[in-house]
Amino acid sequence: MRKWIHFPRQEGQVSRQAHADFPEQGIYEREIGRSGFFGPATHLHHKHAPTGWSDWQGPLRPRLLDLNQLQQISTPCPWNVPDILFNAHCRYRLWKLDSAMPKLARNADGDELLFIHQGEGELFCDYGHLTIRDGDYIVLPRSTMWRIEPTSPMTILLIEATNDSYQLPEKGMVGPHAVFDAAMLDTPKIDDAFLAQQDENEWQVEIKRHQQISTITYPFNPLDAIGWHGDLAVVRINWRDIRPLMSHRYHLPPSAHTTFVASRFVICTFVPRPIESDPGALKVPFYHSNDDYDEVLFYHAGDFFSRDNIDAGMVSFHPAGFTHGPHPKAFAAGQAYKKKFTDEVAVMLDTRDALEIGESALVVENPDYVNSWKVK
């Protein structure tokens, strides 16, 4: 058994409440925390912005990847898509799909999470049929057979829980129905569309295991179920079904927006919500040193209120080990309370293990991103 060294203390000028009512000379609050936002933490008050660096050298720098610039052609096989970020427990990719998959896919390496960034289509899998659209999360349990028929060109974020599974977060004192009720999770249907796609033609299944592909050929469509019962299935929820936790007097940490949990990483969803209205409350994300987790944010839609010059389809990557937080313009706008409501939609990946960057992603990196915190 282990126990954190834990004995709350205070020194100098401090606020009584984190993220609110800062000392006059210490408006720049920085949180130093462990275990993401779940462990012990200390809040320091600084005279200057903790991100006010004048120069940065070395590989730890924050990165911005414009995935809109990826030279990526549409492919009917998700296993042909190169990694953007990866480690032993997670693989992060962006998939362009313009036409129906002629073969079934099956991931034997772990659960697969699909986030539909653009487009819509029909998903057929072991469990039946789902119509899918932009903003949908689809959790595909390990070894599920599936294929997609787009009805408009699709861009899909793929996040693999390698040798792992996706589960729901423990919601504690707010209860199991907060953020989204499990009753909101949709499952595939054995409907007319599913039954109509069953045939006696030859079909192939491309199975990924240990990043290698095996192909199985059937003289019939193996998606031939006529029914199922149990408590394991493909599930779908759209970001529009998420009702975020809010506090008008306190800026909640990203962990309050957790959507799915794996053993070594979490997925959070930021959706539109009212901005804190209490005069003393922080109104933008706080500066923080999340020294145990790499942080990745995929920008899906809207105006990203804590960042500057960020467009939908971009990804920010902040490795563990340095302080980060809102850009100077965003911080100033928060102090002025210029916006009363956020309209951003973003998907955050927080990994306990360091991520590596794929070669294809390096080509679309904005090398000047590290300088975007400088006051101009």
Per this entry, what is the length of the chain? 376
SS3 state at 313: coil
Identify the helix (H) or strand (E) that includes residue 46: strand 41-46
Q: Where are the alpha helices (DSSP H) in 171-310?
A: 192-196
* 288 has binding-site annotation: yes
- The 3-state DSSP class for residue 66 equals strand
Residues ≥6 apart with Cβ < 8 Å to 297: 315, 316, 346, 347, 348, 349
The candidate with the shortest Cα–Cα distance to 11, out of 47, 57, 44, is 44
User: Is 210 a residue of the active site?
Assistant: no
- 349 burial level (CB within 10 Å; 0-12, 13-18, 19+): buried
- For tokens 């049929």, the residue is 129
Q: Which of 128, 104, 75 is nearest to 217 (CA)?
A: 104
User: Which residue in the list 19, 43, 251, 300 is annotated as catalytic?
Assistant: 251
294 annotated ligand-binding residue? yes
Residues comprising the binding site? Answer: 288, 294, 324
Q: Give the active site residues.
A: 251
Residues comprising the binding site for homogentisate? Answer: 324
Residues comprising the binding site for Fe cation? Answer: 288, 294, 324
